[in-house]
Chains A and B, each alone.
Chain A
Amino acid sequence: MTVTKQVEIIIDGRKIRVPQGTTILKAAAMLEIRIPTLCHHEELSPSGSCRLCIVEISNPSQNPDRSWIDSACVCPASEGLNIKTHSPRVLKERKLIIELLLSRAPDSQQIMKLALENGITKPRFTAADEGKSNCILCGLCMRVCNELIKAEAIGFSGRGIKKEVVSPFKIAGDLCIGCKACEAVCPTGVINFKIENKKLRKQDWGVALEMIFCPDCGQPVGTSVQMEQLKEKITITDELLSCCPACRRKKNYSVRTVLHRTAKGLSDVSDYNRLTSKETG
């Protein structure tokens, strides 16, 4: 068995030893140093697309005069790196990145909040689509759909200014299970499923799935496809499964247990809770 080499790095003046290859973002989290991110999610592969987590890196043992900018979520730690997460250069470049993100998603509450926190009220730029998509193309929705839910219903199409998230040939109509994980992870909040005529709908993806409503209170519980999948993973009676979490609790059933068992295959239960919080309340 090979033992992973430990390396020592410095983040904001604090030393930490981590296994070689640990991302800088992860190492910073161990020190409870917060680096802002939009496209990162613990359970999904890193993509380095939002660029918000940029940090200034130097390697004093090699060249003390040179430093460079890289995104912390994809940059692996190696021996002797000195990392600054909030240096003037980082803050300046991060501000520009936020401006660019805001130009792509001008109507997004989340991005607007982020911009205001950084002193930006209006972006200087106009995106190619004039911000109509309100999508920053971070790919979180497709990563969660492909890697975690494994529905493989959405992906990118085109490139450059024509790049967008699509469901090719509206294939999501067949593949989507209506878990709404994509809606939950979307950092701009642009993915919106609607319930109309007792069906969960997202028209541009061709999704129209039958919804199950709680027989006691009438709250939407989930789609029938998702319920079928859940039934295979957890031990639960049909009656309890069709109830909303509040009514389920009333029926003297430990919701916690359900969630815990559902989260099999996920390392963190709280994460599953967060992902599915819109369904399970």
Chain B
Amino acid sequence: MKKVGKIIADFPLTPESLIPILQEIQEEFNFLSEDSIKKVAAGLSLPLHHVYSVATFYNVFSLKPKGRNIVKVCMGSACHVRGAGRILEEIERSLGIKNGETSADGSFSLETVNCLGACALGPIMVINKKYNGHITPAKVEKIFQEFTSQ
């Protein structure tokens, strides 16, 4: 937990630093642990319930460990009409996890988003930061094979 202290120390100790600090911790550990939330609250002299309410309010923060690789499937209107639902089903099948879950070995987390702002590429799925556009259920398996062989 030494690292959390270091992250906090990088920011001015004002309430405004709360979200940037939480973002950095989320980035570093893939989730916000109970200890880290308590540390942030103490470091910024904020009530714990306040930090907790911020941490549970935003979707970017997770209180449970997320997988090493995060798969996001766009369910926005443009992707939806082009069959995002079927693509999500196919991804759930090939990863063996449901939407919002993390695989048992901790390699993948699957989540849906409402729009990625790249509607022209729809339907679209993002693995970590790589955008895979114009996907079809048939392409899903291949994309994951390529990804894991890398």
Contacts and interface: CB of A to CB of B under 8 A. Distances in A.
Contacts of A171: 48-49
B23 to A, nearest CB: 17
A168 B52 CA distance: 6
A167 B49 contact: yes
B56 interface: yes
B47 interface: yes
B34 A155 contact: no
A152 B49 CA distance: 7
B50 A155 contact: yes
Contact of B34 (A159, A167, A169): A169
B49 A158 contact: no
A157 B56 contact: yes
Interface in B10-51: 34, 37-38, 47-50
Contacts of A156: 49, 53
B57 A154 contact: no
A145 B50 CA distance: 13
Contacts of A155: 47-50, 52-53
A153 interface: yes
B5 to A, nearest CB: 19
Contact of A158 (B38, B48, B50, B56): B56
Nearest to A142: B49
A96 to B, nearest CB: 27
A168 B49 contact: yes
A146 B53 contact: no
Contacts of A158: 56-57
B36 to A, nearest CB: 12
A152 B38 CA distance: 14
A155 B49 CA distance: 5
B48 A157 contact: no
A166 B49 CA distance: 8
B52 A157 contact: yes
A118 B52 CA distance: 38
A153 B48 CA distance: 8
A207 to B, nearest CB: 14
B41 to A, nearest CB: 9
A129 to B, nearest CB: 16
A157 B47 CA distance: 13
Contacts of B49: 142, 146, 152-156, 166-168, 171
Contact of A159 (B38, B47, B48, B57): B57
Contacts of B50: 155
Contacts of A169: 34, 37-38, 48, 52
A153 to B, nearest CB: 7
B56 A146 contact: no
A146 B3 CA distance: 30
Contacts of A166: 49, 52
A168 B46 CA distance: 14
Nearest to A159: B57
A152 B37 CA distance: 15
Contacts of B48: 152, 155, 168-169, 171
Nearest to B50: A155
Contacts of B52: 155, 157, 166, 168-169
Given A157-B56, A171-B48, 15 more contacts: A152-B49, A155-B47, A155-B50, A155-B52, A155-B53, A156-B53, A158-B56, A159-B57, A166-B52, A168-B37, A168-B49, A168-B52, A169-B48, A169-B52, A171-B49
Interface of B: 34, 37-38, 47-50, 52-53, 56-57
Interface of A: 142, 146, 152-159, 166-169, 171
Q: For the complex of A and B, list the 8 residue pairs with the smallest distance between their C-beta atoms, beginning with the closest.
A: A155-B49, A168-B52, A152-B47, A157-B56, A156-B53, A158-B56, A159-B57, A155-B53
17 contacts: A152-B48, A155-B47, A155-B50, A155-B52, A156-B49, A156-B53, A157-B52, A157-B53, A158-B56, A166-B49, A168-B37, A168-B49, A168-B52, A169-B34, A169-B37, A169-B52, A171-B49
